[in-house]
């Protein structure tokens, strides 16, 4: 049994975890019969990286080998914090930081931020020719699965909207951009994709890096949209990208760099509500619930459009409790769902997603079924 931890305990120096996560001490999941045991990290990890909080690590902070390295690490950390507390260094978010620091300092920084996106152009490293080949594959798959011939517009000038997905979708979940292509074509939307690096990747890794990188990527998105002459950028289903480009950039884009940006969810809601698609809700007669992602709902304020769509097309839709802005975090946002560093997955599945599992199983309690997130 873990003893109670006090604030002062965090300053204790020890390689051993301050707290061990024990399955017996975690909230019981009534509707789950068995779950895997919690494994200790291997000793060679603990010898090299810091697991001293709870025996888990997402970022692999190296343990300093000597006092000099330790001083350097602390010095760099403090220098980084100092950047946040001056107007010159942090004019973008200084008010929020100073107001929040009095009571709580939220750190959403991910040390896995990388300049790869800017040097190559996207997190997937695809050049325009590679991207266009992927689009061809999409068209072929759509034809194969649905019989519909769609010519997906790429770099089309003068379209109404530039749709930008998360670049990873073109590698891992091609069915998502395919679905949007079908919906937009059927709804008669004037749209285009961009084959330019950054133009096909809505994710702004600069959010995890610093404001200079954030600005560069956001401006690049805008520049590509201006070059294509579109009226609006629509951000696909990536909460992190939505937060960065739709919300964060709103105050930072000057008049000369401005272009309207919107999440795809309100657009989908309009399409469904206005009957632009021939939909048969009876084909979706199975239990459905909705998870409210932090980036979309709490950070971007997009709460209702997705519900309007589901209520229209899923007759057995039910909310999980709590929902909307009161929903619990699932621990998978900002790409964490697909990141598997060290034993972070174990922590994510056992702790962060625990409440989410409870919510989902309870939403499907009557049917006694479990659905993946």
Contacts to another protein by CB under 8 A? 4-7, 79, 83, 86-89, 91-92, 95-96, 99-100, 102-103, 115, 118, 210, 212-213, 215-216, 219-220, 223, 250-255, 258, 260
End-to-end CA distance of the chain: 31
For residue 216, what are its two tokens? 């560069």
Tell me whether residue 114 or residue 346 sits nearer to another protein (CB atom).
114
Tell me whether residue 65 or residue 251 sits nearer to another protein (CB atom).
251
Residue 247: CB minimum distance to another protein, A: 8
Tell me whether residue 153 or residue 206 sits nearer to another protein (CB atom).
206
Residue 123: CB minimum distance to another protein, A: 16
Residue 4: CB minimum distance to another protein, A: 7
Tell me whether residue 151 or residue 251 sits nearer to another protein (CB atom).
251
Residue 203: CB minimum distance to another protein, A: 16
Tell me whether residue 199 or residue 333 sits nearer to another protein (CB atom).
199
Residue 221: CB minimum distance to another protein, A: 10
Tell me whether residue 88 or residue 129 sits nearer to another protein (CB atom).
88
Residue 71: CB minimum distance to another protein, A: 19
Tell me whether residue 76 or residue 285 sits nearer to another protein (CB atom).
76
Residue 90: CB minimum distance to another protein, A: 10
């Amino acid at each position: 049994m873990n003893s109670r931890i006090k604030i002062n305990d965090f300053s204790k120096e020890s390689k051993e975890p301050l707290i061990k996560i024990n399955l017996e001490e975690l909230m019981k999941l009534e509707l789950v019969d068995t779950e895997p045991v919690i494994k200790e990290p291997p000793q060679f990890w603990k010898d090299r990286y810091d697991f001293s909080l709870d025996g888990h690590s997402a970022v692999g902070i190296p343990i300093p080998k000597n006092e000099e390295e330790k001083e350097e690490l602390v010095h760099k950390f403090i220098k980084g914090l100092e950047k946040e507390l001056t107007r010159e260094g942090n004019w973008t978010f200084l008010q929020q930081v100073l107001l929040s620091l009095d009571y709580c300092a939220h750190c959403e920084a991910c040390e896995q931020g990388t300049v790869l996106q800017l040097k190559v152009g996207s997190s997937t490293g695809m050049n325009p020719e590679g991207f266009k080949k992927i689009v061809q594959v999409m068209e072929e798959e759509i034809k194969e699965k649905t019989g519909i011939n769609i010519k997906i517009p790429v770099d089309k000038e003068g379209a109404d909207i530039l749709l930008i997905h998360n670049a990873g979708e073109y590698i891992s979940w091609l069915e998502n951009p395919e679905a949007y292509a079908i919906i937009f074509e059927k709804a008669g939307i004037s749209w285009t994709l961009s084959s330019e690096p950054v133009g096909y990747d809505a994710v702004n890794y600069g959010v995890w890096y610093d404001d200079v990188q954030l600005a560069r990527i956001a401006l690049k998105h805008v520049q590509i949209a201006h070059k294509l002459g579109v009226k609006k950028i629509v951000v696909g289903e990536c909460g992190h990208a939505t937060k960065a480009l739709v919300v964060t950039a709103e105050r930072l884009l000057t008049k000369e760099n401005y272009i309207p940006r919107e999440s795809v969810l309100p657009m989908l809601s309009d399409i469904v509500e206005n009957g632009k698609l021939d939909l048969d809700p009876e084909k979706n007669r199975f239990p459905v619930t909705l998870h409210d992602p932090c980036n979309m709902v709490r950070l971007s304020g997009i709460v209702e459009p997705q519900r309007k769509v589901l209520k229209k097309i899923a007759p057995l839709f039910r909310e999980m409790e709590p929902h909307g802005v009161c929903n619990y975090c699932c621990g998978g946002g900002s790409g964490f769902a697909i990141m598997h560093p060290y034993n972070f997955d174990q922590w994510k599945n056992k702790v962060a997603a625990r409440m989410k599992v409870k919510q989902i199983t309870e939403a499907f309690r009557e049917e006694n079924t479990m659905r993946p997130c």
